[in-house]
Chain A
């Protein structure tokens, strides 16, 4: 039928119609491709957007009240004080640093050990199961971790160590370690898997046992990737908010032992932003902390990415 219809049309018209169609299709394709490009740029736009919007709110504070010296060296954070307002974030930095280090002390051996085990030693079946377990561990929401810190770990620490408060650096470190382990395991395992099998075969051909192959050949070859895993795990610990807000016990001071309560940069924003009047100095100071957090995460992620890609290129 269609063939007959086409024949019935004057030749000229057919040509015009098809060229119109063709043009429509070409334009349609171009529009779609433009749209795809815009979406492709979304990540860049958003990262810039995050920086700009956080910077915009922090800017007046940076101009007027902010001083590097006070912000980085004074532990006095009194944003609401009537008589002497202070914006010293040293104690907050110390809080973040203490729980990050604490969590890495636990997460690093366990995370790297697990990554090495599931990549080099265990059977494929066990590997499948272990990966699912780690996925589940990663899926537990941070607020649930915070809840666990308050309801389960808190009484446990009080009982075990005979201290008055169980919400402290130790508690937060354990919780954060459990949250950072999945990151360390998955990135670390990627790094180990990226080591070519030829390396392992060569080592075994020389008579090395599995153990020697792993620790003298594979791990050294993957060390950049493993370092990236450590960095990203740390990034996770530094940036974590809700679990830390609930587990650290909310007290702004310089920590002296693992049983001290602290407060982190992230938790301070979460705890105080709701009460800080919009556009006020306190509000802007919190955005300034956000700016620092953004910068830290930026550096951590760039370094990790550089280590992973630099490493891949070499092999």
Chain B
């Protein structure tokens, strides 16, 4: 009897030890985030002032601010959403509401998985070949945001599809029984009910588009441009690109500048992500079904 008890006790102890170890491993992930955010705040905050946010960079980017980069990033993100949200949402509608379970749908699914896994620099090559050269957009806001849109399409499709599939099937059946067509049921019942999920996906796409650098490197973002883009065929600056430039290409930048830029970029991305997480929690507790 005693032997058995100690054996069990040993097992329990071992279990607790492993659980503790794995817990520590998980907590390890918090450390780099806390450290990075801490350093960015500590070294970046002194740089952030009204002038830094609202002035143009001057003297070879060693003074002034990052205003055109912030505006450029906003333009890029909004324009890319304009492309990828409608197409992505409708594609998700197809996959969740219309597609049959056959090889064709499976091929589309594989394509989505692959599109999501294509390296960002290959997206840049595609953007250069297809939008800049073939469609003759030139290196422009239009070409860069189209490239970003291609990259974010799988994100929007996957998120939308999940939230469409979460709408109970009975909702659709009720509509059909009332004589609604397939599309009417989708338009008036399924889509409104899945809006929160779509919104979270879109917001996530925003944060990704804001942070990406490689896809816009050769398609529309420039190191330095004095004036704001006047049309969608103009080139523009972008925060991510600016951070890359400041930390690798420019000599004699005061240290606070790249830190400030990184802080603004990370701040935007985190703010957008927090919004998405908060929305998700809100809608989870306020769901109608």
Contacts and interface: CB of A to CB of B under 8 A. Distances in A.
Contacts of B35: 152
Interface string B157-195: 100000000000000000000000111000000000000
B32 interface: yes
A206 interface: no
A194 interface: no
Interface string A106-124: 0001100110111001100
Contacts of B99: 40
Contact of B110 (A209, A286, A300, A305): A305
Contacts of B86: 39
B191 to A, nearest CB: 12
B218 A273 contact: yes
A294 B91 contact: no
A39 B149 CA distance: 14
B118 A143 contact: no
Most A Cβ at <10 Å: residue of B98, B117, B244: B117
Contact of A147 (B22, B113, B124, B243): B243
Given A140-B36, A246-B247, A36 B273 contact: no
B225 interface: no
A269 B25 contact: no
B78 to A, nearest CB: 18
B120 A241 contact: yes
A139 to B, nearest CB: 5
Interface stretch (B49-57, B61-69, B125-133, B229-237): B125-133
A122 to B, nearest CB: 7
B22 A298 contact: no
Given A53-B130, A242-B244, A41 B277 contact: no
Contacts of A50: 115, 118, 122-123, 126, 150
Of B123, B213, B262, which is in contact with the most chain A CB atoms at under 10 Å from its CB?
A: B213
B95 interface: yes
A251 interface: no
Contact of B125 (A110, A140, A269): A269
Interface of B: 11-12, 14-15, 18-19, 21-23, 25-26, 28-30, 32-33, 35-36, 39, 86-88, 90-91, 93-95, 98-99, 107-126, 128-130, 133-134, 150, 153-154, 157, 181-183, 207, 210-214, 217-218, 240-241, 243-244, 247-248, 258-259, 262, 265-266, 269-270, 273, 277
Interface of A: 25, 29, 32-33, 35-37, 39-44, 46-47, 49-50, 53-54, 56-57, 109-110, 113-114, 116-118, 121-122, 130, 132-137, 139-144, 146-148, 150-152, 178, 181, 209-212, 232, 235, 238-242, 246, 266, 269-270, 273-274, 278, 286-287, 290, 293-294, 297-298, 300-302, 304-305
